[in-house]
Amino acid sequence: MKNISQISQEALGNDYYAIHLIGEIDINYLPQLETTLKPITEMAQLKGIILDCKKLVFIDSKIVGFIVYLYTKLSRSNQKLIIAETNETINDIMTLVGLSTIIQFTPTFDEAVKQLNVYVTQ
């Protein structure tokens, strides 16, 4: 069965957002990902973003590159990026290039929200 790929956003309070990545997100979805994230990253009050990967099946190196760019951009403004609930394949792709050494990963989405709450209240 063919995976239906989708990118959606969810506001988790005023300070942080979740981006839900579903299916196979490759270079073809990069413009949509950029469009979704641009207004969010430009918000002055933004404290952090969670990339929800629970239903993510595949990403290619262009998307990994974009995640690195997003991490760099958020870090410069003291904002946090958390990658939540990656399956084994996604985890392999991300850890292989070394993303796990610079970006925080959490096993569940709730854990990511908890981590961001802690970060926001700090």
Residues contributing to the site for other proteins (CB under 8 A)? 27, 60-62, 64-66, 68-69, 72-73, 95-99, 101-102
Closest CB to other proteins among residues 97, 118: 97
Closest CB to other proteins among residues 83, 113: 83
CB of 54 closer than 8 Å to CB of 88: no
- DSSP alpha helix (H) spans, 16-60: 30-41
Smallest gap from Cβ 94 to other proteins, in A, equals: 10
Smallest gap from Cβ 12 to other proteins, in A, equals: 25
Burial annotation 77-98 (CB, 10 A radius, 16+ → b, else e): eebbbbbbbbeeebbebbeeee
Smallest gap from Cβ 84 to other proteins, in A, equals: 20
